[in-house]
């Protein structure tokens, strides 16, 4: 399987966007101080 130069550039940019967005979302989720365990609402 042979890639052209444009194909290699596109694949690199596409994977870069995916990895950057994944790291950004994980960092946003893991840094939140809000808890969603609903331990106060038990009856």
The pairs formed by 26-30 with CB atoms below 8 angstroms and a separation of 24 or more are: none
| Percentage of residues in the chain having pLDDT higher than 90 | 56
Give Cα separations from 34 to 8, 15, 19, 37, 41 (angstroms).
41, 31, 25, 10, 15
For the stretch 15-27, pLDDT in tens is: 999 999 999 999 9
Q: What is the pLDDT, as a whole number, of residue 12?
A: 97
Which pLDDT score, from 0 to 100, does residue 33 have?
74
Which tokens hold the place of 34? 């809000």
pLDDT at 36: 67
Comparing 38 with 12, the larger pLDDT belongs to: 12
């Amino acid at each position: 399987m042979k890639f052209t130069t444009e194909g290699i550039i596109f694949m690199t940019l596409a994977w870069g966007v995916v990895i950057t967005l994944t790291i950004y979302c994980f960092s946003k989720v893991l840094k939140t101080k809000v808890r969603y365990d609903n331990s106060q609402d038990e009856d």
